[in-house]
A and B are shown apart, each in its own frame.
Chain A
């Protein structure tokens, strides 16, 4: 038996060697490789093989660049540790897909014999799944190497489906699946634009957070996505689907940095009500509020800063101090003005994510909100800072405002603190887990603030300040554009999305109008060939 296996491996190795002949596709440069996020991977597998396929394994973490994790997808690699995990997941998915239970549903042809190779049936299967997984048709080399692999594996194991399993596994752990390989073709003299299949994938992951469906792939195949009218038709179709919720949930999770919740912990002695369930509920509350306003109500996105409307479950009701007397898990709630809440900035999520385990942090809250909603990141603090005044909560300075003022007498610190602290200080009416309060260490909290010459009071004043600040919608447009293209939002030039921002404003700040403007603009598919490719070298030498 062992001998048989060795022979099989040798054969596959030789065959693979034969296929190493360069297979340069004509026309087209790889301009970006975007590693699938965990959710993109899961959604893609669910759509291609069915929701009952279990995907279990460790995904490589992303990294926030320019406020967005999606921007890191184009930079991060798969580490050896990660590849081990992707390999195992690939094998597990392939095994499930070719199992006796699933094969009638998933494998559309029957082999001549269950114990012999059947190249035609194997090719049909790999062609179908290869196109779905790679988001484009397989090249003949890619197909033939799988057919040969399956045949040799079938011969070694005596099972056609075992051969199929290994072939499928090789598709699932290919860089062509794990990365969205974006290819651009020349358009005009020095310009590049994404090819049809790359366009389909970019649209699909943006709108639905998953792999292109058969109709979108067909639109790519028939070159429909190259014409403005064809493109527009597909964009309208994708936006009309309820699956737009999935795409926008992914975007807002990223923009609002809700992944931070995986690592938020609170001092259980001071805050016994804090729990993993509460954290999960708080994250969901923010997403529900945002999606309801953005998509279900087609609302003005500026109201995200001011709306009294939210959704709560039993866990959240306890923190908000409202009765929860419902059978449903989630119910809508409208805060009274007296409760002092203002849009998502006063939800438990935003208040607790950017606070210390034991106390609130006006600085962290201020820095985070400036970055998330105004696209104004704060530089890292100098290294020789004396934090003792801020950290001494038992000293004579009883409120955090007093402690920060003492700290900010240092001019090097003051330049940043005057920038971010007012926002945070206006939110001091809420503690580190988002409960209302009016005093700190027995002293009344002052929630007044002045930013850029505008004075306001408390969270509701802050909400109104952000609502009326033109930098906020411009920041939403910048983040959405960067997220969709997978680029660092700090590197994007305003000119690229200027028209999108205008369309957003003209529509009364409706997110659908922004989405449509972004995806229908020429900039959206414009590409720059990376340094080192044949084309870019040639252009540089011209």
Chain B
């Protein structure tokens, strides 16, 4: 699959890309990642979830056979080249426990968190991409990126749990600017330097964090959790200086 910057942008325009993992793309280095290999660093692991509703018909999408040599179904045809690297999971069944069965939501919520949601439109715990990002995105400039093609930043299936979802980028331009705009450094360059501006911002954030602590001391438990969620960013940013992560 050929990925370049243009694909990334075109993808969000045409709705091909719903949620996008970290854009560590070897095309930013060279075709085979040799430029990165030359630096002696490992290619970082990336995780990508992709969601689109409707349009799939069970009989046209789900393979008839299990195991390696299934016959590619009509709707899986475009992915045939990746057949050997691909698993199709189907027939999942969500146990809703005592929660209501929310149309269009219980399945999504339970599949992504492992917990059947107690409220419509809300994840009851971290979504799987965030659980994985906690492990693989340490030190990355962006822990995760979400993009949506429906023009609505609320349409994000990425969440730390609770009423907030991590808002999705809805315009190709803003997604591009976030990734490659101010602050972007070509990770394959050998003369990489820490960005002094980021380091200065760290000092500002230290002061802001003290404000937060003061407020937190006077909060009820649920509001404390709210503030904690937003300021986990600080810990991440302090690590955000690593050269290999775009």
Interface residues of A (CB under 8 A from B): 1-2, 5-6, 8-9, 12-13, 16, 19-20, 22-25, 28-30, 33, 58, 60-61, 63, 72, 75-84, 87, 91, 139, 141-142, 145-146, 149, 152-153, 156, 166, 169-170, 173-176, 181, 183, 262-263, 380-383, 529-533, 536
Bound Cα distance from A6 to B208, whole angstroms: 19
Interface residues of B (CB under 8 A from A): 100-103, 120-121, 143, 146, 150-154, 160, 162-167, 169, 174, 194, 196, 199-215, 217-227, 229-233, 236
* Contact A77 B162, beta carbon cutoff 8 Å: yes
Given contacts A58-B174, A80-B236, A530-B219, contact A153 B203 (CB under 8 A): yes
* Contact B203 A262, beta carbon cutoff 8 Å: no
Bound Cα distance from A213 to B25, whole angstroms: 50
Bound Cα distance from A37 to B103, whole angstroms: 29
* Contact B199 A170, beta carbon cutoff 8 Å: no
The 21 listed contacts between A and B (C-beta, < 8 Å) are A5-B196, A9-B199, A12-B206, A16-B203, A19-B210, A23-B214, A24-B217, A30-B218, A61-B153, A63-B154, A77-B163, A79-B167, A80-B230, A81-B166, A81-B167, A82-B167, A82-B230, A149-B207, A175-B215, A380-B102, A529-B220
Which residues of chain B have C-beta atoms less than 8 A from A80's C-beta? 143, 160, 166, 229-230, 232-233, 236
* Contact B153 A58, beta carbon cutoff 8 Å: yes
* Contact A20 B210, beta carbon cutoff 8 Å: yes
Which residues of chain B have C-beta atoms less than 8 A from A9's C-beta? 199-200, 202-203
Which residues of chain A have C-beta atoms less than 8 A from B206's C-beta? 12-13, 16
Given contacts A84-B233, A532-B221, A532-B224, contact A79 B160 (CB under 8 A): yes
Given contacts A141-B214, A166-B200, contact A75 B163 (CB under 8 A): yes
Main secondary structure, interface of B, reads helix
* Contact B204 A149, beta carbon cutoff 8 Å: yes
* Contact B217 A79, beta carbon cutoff 8 Å: no
* Contact A169 B152, beta carbon cutoff 8 Å: no
* Contact A61 B167, beta carbon cutoff 8 Å: yes
Partner of A83, one of B169, B223, B224, B231: B231
Bound Cα distance from A82 to B199, whole angstroms: 20
Given contacts A16-B210, A61-B167, contact A175 B227 (CB under 8 A): yes
* Contact A533 B230, beta carbon cutoff 8 Å: no
Partner of B219, one of A33, A63, A82: A33
* Contact A61 B154, beta carbon cutoff 8 Å: yes
What residue in chain B is nearest A10 (Cβ atoms)? B203
Which residues of chain B have C-beta atoms less than 8 A from A536's C-beta? 220
* Contact B211 A142, beta carbon cutoff 8 Å: yes
Which residues of chain B have C-beta atoms less than 8 A from A84's C-beta? 233
Partner of A530, one of B167, B212, B220, B230: B220
Partner of A72, one of B163, B213, B217: B163
Given contacts A5-B196, A79-B160, A166-B204, contact A25 B218 (CB under 8 A): yes
Which residues of chain B have C-beta atoms less than 8 A from A19's C-beta? 207, 210
